[in-house]
Structure 1
């Protein structure tokens, strides 16, 4: 029948194959659409899990910091060493927030994810900055105490610092005395460490987050 019509014979044979390909294509499109809808439905849950993970990570960092402070207290570490460790952690969290802001500006993070993570990181950064300020005041107070009749030992200073910074058991904040001039410093003494103020940085963070929301 098709001996003298090879084109018709080829068309007759390829028609079922083309129908199968079209049906397979349509089925694949339907499956892809279904998967896309499922992914969109799971997006809020994914964002919630990410937020929980960020909070737990920050909690872990705080617990590790408390552990280091207690360990330093038990090891009779000097206040200067403890202050240096805490300042290093503060610089680390500052760098992490800067990298996070860069990632958001580059389009690597969504707005909601950035705001949640950034606020959590900045909160931790401000808490550490306050701890650094209090510890600096304790170092300064420890340098003034030799004028008193019964000066406490350095180990008592470390114990007080660890107790305050870990659980906030100290009811009153130590007040820093005015800085001594170079001529009144004791022999072999040194100037007090620079004070770090976190309030200006906090206002800048709030302004930045407000601008991002707009």
Structure 2
């Protein structure tokens, strides 16, 4: 028995930092839904008709860039969602939008993997989405680039291809709710803290993937992320 614990604790999930041997320790993962107008429409929703809403993934859903993972269980409709990810080095409650970007350490490209069939079934029956969004290996993420080096991107191309074919394409400026608004709003619900990641939404073009597929996303000025599924 490990001293102080009944078993050896799992390692702390972490993400690579570009140009730095140190890693970013992950505390929690928050995600904002339907934050691009065309994606909201393709999901059958009216863009911006409701306040922003959120879901979460466990910290150990993180997958390193370039990994090959098992195709998720219990789904026949696994979707890719390329997203700008903000990594926080400070936080708090009731953060003002004007101070929100002071909390951001840096940015990365991430993919919110979604078991769409499970999500649709849960939504239609009024049940939580947890297992459609927060399953094992559901958050591939590229290296974090510090804001001190790249600033705070509010515009720039965001895109994702599967097996070399373009699926998603948009611009960060297409977000309905800006990152400062998102950070401020989440901090009304919970106290944000160092190590928190925020996935900021995805442009339109989400679609199904199959075993053996390779997905690669990129965000102008931020970086890229890729993940492959075992055949």
**Which bin holds the TM-score, normalised by the shorter protein?**
under 0.3
Name whichever structure is richer in strand by fraction.
2
Name whichever structure is richer in helix by fraction.
1
Determine which structure has greater relative contact order: mean sequence separation of CA pairs < 8 Å that are 6+ residues apart, divided by chain length: 2
Please give the TM-score of this superposition, normalised by the length of structure 2. Answer: 0.21
Please give the TM-score of this superposition, normalised by the length of structure 1. Answer: 0.22
Which has the greater radius of gyration? 1
